[in-house]
Structure 1
Amino acid sequence: MRALDAFIALGDEGLVAIADLLDALHRRDHPDDVHELRVAVRHLRAVCWAFGPVLPRTMRARWQACLRQLARAASEVRDWDVFIAETLQPALDLQPEDPVLAAVRDVAVTRRHAVRETMVAQLAEYQRWPLPVLHRDLTHLGGNPRSARAAARARLGEFAPRRVSRADKRVRALARAAKPGDLERVHRYRIGSKRLRYVIESLMPVLPKRQGKRLHRKLVRRQRKLGNLVDGAVARRLMAQCLDMAAADAPAADRSATISP
């Protein structure tokens, strides 16, 4: 299979998944829908990066910009969902009669509903544009002889391991740069690891075992640890917002939390 044909298939699958989740978000308000949308967008962004060398430059730039915009639209709601479910609710389970915790929870829920309204409005616009444009790109890509000739020699079996190897090298560099106290670099390391993980998941059938299942298991374990660090920083920032006070590490937490994955 040509790498170009693989991108068309994976790109179409990703766009359909995103469209279904956008419909679900308009029908109901459930935290899982926001999470699944962000995961679907991350997968498609990883696919776009992996197949970047065989895509027309203008198309690649358009997809990167559009998917980044979509990821950012849902990021703030997801932050509040995680904060409420993993920080406030466990504390309330331990101290259900605590009036301060109850008040903080009420503020968090109110702010979460407010940012969700903004998100839904942004996503409604996204369904009208640019989602149809991305679908059109795939149609034109498959029927464009010039694109087919440019990628004719890129076969998936050889192309995929090279791209995973490049992503792995990038992640190793990010790991060397990440320090426990530097949340911004830790966040970059986490995002790089996620991209590599999703690239592997998309290309698993054509990857050697060492690049597939083995590396994937390591990435999953690593993400749990990195996720706890970043989620802790976000929780401190949101708690400070709820209390209308500045936490001591709020500036560093803000920088790490506002980088969209």
Structure 2
Amino acid sequence: MKGASAAKASRRMEIELKCRLPPSAVAPLLRHPALAAVARGRPRGQRLYSVYYDTPDLALSRHKLALRVRREGRRGWTQTVKAEGRVAGGLHQRSEWEAPVAGELPDPTKVDAPQVKELLQAPQVRRRLTPVFVTDFRRQRVDLEFPDGTRAELAVDRGTIRAHGRTEAVTELEVELIEGSARTLFAFALELARALPIEVEVFSKAERGYRLAAGEGPPVVKARHPSLEPAMSVEEAFCHIVAGCVAQLQGNVEGMRRGEDVEHLHQMRVALRRARSALATFSKALPKPLTAPVRQALKWLTGELAPARDWDVFVTETLPPILAAFPDHAGLTALRDAAQRLRGEARIRAQEATLGQRYRGLVLGVGAWLEARSWREGLDGSSRRRMAAPVVPFAQAVLARRHRQLLQRGRHHVRLGAAELHRLRILGKKLRYACEFFASLFPARATRPYLAALQALQDVLGAINDAATTERLMNEIAARVPDALVAEGIGVVSDWSARLAAQRRTELDDAWKRFAKREPFWDGR
């Protein structure tokens, strides 16, 4: 580059499929026939050494920016600023700005984007930039050209992230789109994943580096209300919502496997419920036969994780107050020990489910399904029109229908038995998920009071349902651990749970009335 233009950063949209794999899989990957079929030239290797900068109070991270200065082999230094983007099934899309710099120190003047430039050149940021962590890895690159004309670059990174004396190993596969279709990248990754332990990576090296610098483990990734736009079509909103569910699912899997925090498993269950609810929410536009393979895959994984989550809740939430009330009860102690054993077995089952090819294929497969819009070939004319229609009228119709169904089912809630209350709870949960999916399309001042009242109703119904779950678990322990002391503990827990459920039933009427008087927020848009 020559002249003034060389001093400025160039902006581009980076689109890449990012996966992680064990070091032992790298050699088989580079020999894989699927790679040989599309590789153009031999792998090229080089060392990439990068220093990531931020202020001591992490001002850039708070603004969802990453600033790095990288040296590639013997070449000079390049500064890159990356903005937060979106992740859909492992496909990362984000803006980035690159510019050459003189050395290892960043130069905030070499960013043109107004908002990014304003932040980086603010005195309280520019003067306080300091190294936060370093990545040091060897990259092997291969140019790819697919039969449909898609061009990409495959990169395998092996090395470390270092921060404050801590080190984390990195082995990643990235396939960056240069020209063509992202769906081709997914098809390629799926073929590799059938033979190799490759799985989607939802976190960037920068995110992992910040965690390492803070001494934190895998984060608990909670659901966020999707950011939908009124100009979106029904199909676009559907893809955005389901992609968010998959990102939440995969974002918690590493923490769940470690088993250090029960909340990772909980949030994986939430992600699965939301994904299944999203498929049901859009079924008037996207007929169920076209989503059947995805629904079956999600149902399988739900079944694998459910026992572990049930035992987590029992051991960490249900049992502790009972033990506190009866601290010297030998039967409760025996019951706790038995429950811990069953919990351990269920957790191993859940962890093993996520380590297999079936799980890896699920996450990659749903990402490919979304990117390729694979359902389009099966749509009739009416469904095509519904999927192409604006999302707001569709959302209003869905919310009105689910609101009406819940009101009708709950009219005589004081007379409903346990099974009917469970069905009422499920209707409420479907309505709440639909509200959360579409909330960004409506004014927050209207959605918040409605959602708060619905959540309060859900809390009461959930507490009542917990008694049924507890009773089912007690029956399982009784069958699998036929012990007299354990049976005594089961009796105490069953009595406690029944009394608690009866108490919560007295709260149901008030929660119902507060919800029923709330005006629907979608009518007055």
TM over 0.5: yes
Question: In 2, are the aligned partners of 1:197 and 1:216 still within 8 Å (CA)?
Answer: yes
Return the structure number with greater relative CO, CA threshold 8 A, min gap 6: 1
Q: Secondary structure at the match of 1:73?
A: helix
Question: In 2, are the aligned partners of 1:17 and 1:40 still within 8 Å (CA)?
Answer: yes
Q: What corresponds to 1:256 in structure 2?
A: none
Q: Does 1:27 align with 2:258?
A: yes
Distance 1:134-1:93 versus aligned 2 partners, 3 A rule: same
Q: Does 1:139 align with 2:374?
A: no
Give the stretch that moved more between structures: 9-18 or 174-183.
Answer: 174-183
Give the stretch that moved more between structures: 28-37 or 219-228.
Answer: 28-37
Q: What corresponds to 2:389 in structure 1?
A: 154
How far apart are the structure 1 equivalents of 2:413 and 2:256? Answer: 35
Q: What corresponds to 1:191 in structure 2?
A: 426
How far apart are the structure 2 equivalents of 1:233 and 1:145? Answer: 43
How far apart are the structure 2 equivalents of 1:232 and 1:146? Answer: 43
Q: Does 1:54 align with 2:285?
A: yes
Q: What corresponds to 1:170 in structure 2?
A: 405
Question: In 2, are the aligned partners of 1:11 and 1:47 still within 8 Å (CA)?
Answer: yes
CA-CA distance at 1:13 after TM superposition: 1.5
How far apart are the structure 1 equivalents of 2:446 and 2:396? Answer: 7
Give the stretch that moved more between structures: 86-95 or 145-154.
Answer: 145-154
**1:129 is matched by which residue type in structure 2?**
G
Distance 1:241-1:188 versus aligned 2 partners, 3 A rule: same
Q: Does 1:130 align with 2:327?
A: no
Give the stretch that moved more between structures: 20-29 or 169-178.
Answer: 169-178
Q: What corresponds to 2:81 in structure 1?
A: none
CA-CA distance at 1:195 after TM superposition: 1.4
CA-CA distance at 1:187 after TM superposition: 1.2
How far apart are the structure 2 equivalents of 1:29 and 1:179? Answer: 41
Distance 1:98-1:2 versus aligned 2 partners, 3 A rule: same
Distance 1:178-1:29 versus aligned 2 partners, 3 A rule: farther
Q: Does 1:68 align with 2:303?
A: no
How far apart are the structure 2 equivalents of 1:149 and 1:180? Answer: 43
Q: What corresponds to 1:259 in structure 2?
A: none
Q: TM-score, normalised by structure 2?
A: 0.43
Q: What corresponds to 1:113 in structure 2?
A: 344
Question: In 2, are the aligned partners of 1:73 and 1:123 still within 8 Å (CA)?
Answer: no
CA-CA distance at 1:142 after TM superposition: 8.1
**1:231 is matched by which residue type in structure 2?**
D
Distance 1:193-1:211 versus aligned 2 partners, 3 A rule: farther
Question: In 1, are the aligned partners of 2:278 and 2:434 still within 8 Å (CA)?
Answer: yes
The match for 1:100 among 306, 331, 336 is 331
How far apart are the structure 1 equivalents of 2:387 and 2:319? Answer: 54
- Give identity over the alignment, percent: 26
Q: Does 1:215 align with 2:450?
A: yes
How far apart are the structure 1 equivalents of 2:310 and 2:324? Answer: 20
How far apart are the structure 1 equivalents of 2:285 and 2:351? Answer: 34
CA-CA distance at 1:149 after TM superposition: 5.0
Give the stretch that moved more between structures: 53-62 or 26-35.
Answer: 53-62
CA-CA distance at 1:104 after TM superposition: 0.8
Unaligned 5+ segments in structure 2 are 1-231, 499-525
Q: Deviations over 1:178-206 (max 9, x none)?
A: 66663222112111111110110111021
Q: What corresponds to 1:82 in structure 2?
A: 313
Higher share in strand: 2
Give the stretch that moved more between structures: 219-228 or 39-48.
Answer: 39-48
Q: Secondary structure at the match of 1:54?
A: coil
Q: What is the total number of aligned residue pairs between the two structures? A: 249
How far apart are the structure 1 equivalents of 2:416 and 2:233? Answer: 44
The structure whose Rg is larger is 2
Question: In 1, are the aligned partners of 2:290 and 2:375 still within 8 Å (CA)?
Answer: no
CA-CA distance at 1:91 after TM superposition: 1.9
The match for 1:6 among 237, 245, 253 is 237
CA-CA distance at 1:108 after TM superposition: 0.5
Question: In 1, are the aligned partners of 2:248 and 2:267 still within 8 Å (CA)?
Answer: no
Unaligned 5+ segments in structure 1 are 254-261
Q: TM-score, normalised by structure 1?
A: 0.82
How far apart are the structure 1 equivalents of 2:389 and 2:298? Answer: 25
CA-CA distance at 1:152 after TM superposition: 5.8
**1:96 is matched by which residue type in structure 2?**
P
Give the stretch that moved more between structures: 183-192 or 88-97.
Answer: 88-97
Distance 1:88-1:95 versus aligned 2 partners, 3 A rule: same
How far apart are the structure 2 equivalents of 1:172 and 1:61? Answer: 29
Q: Deviations over 1:2-46 (max 9, x none)?
A: 111111112112111111222321233432112111111122222
CA-CA distance at 1:176 after TM superposition: 4.3
CA RMSD of aligned residues (A): 2.9
CA-CA distance at 1:210 after TM superposition: 9.4
Higher share in helix: 1
How far apart are the structure 1 equivalents of 2:405 and 2:443? Answer: 19
The match for 1:230 among 461, 465, 470 is 465
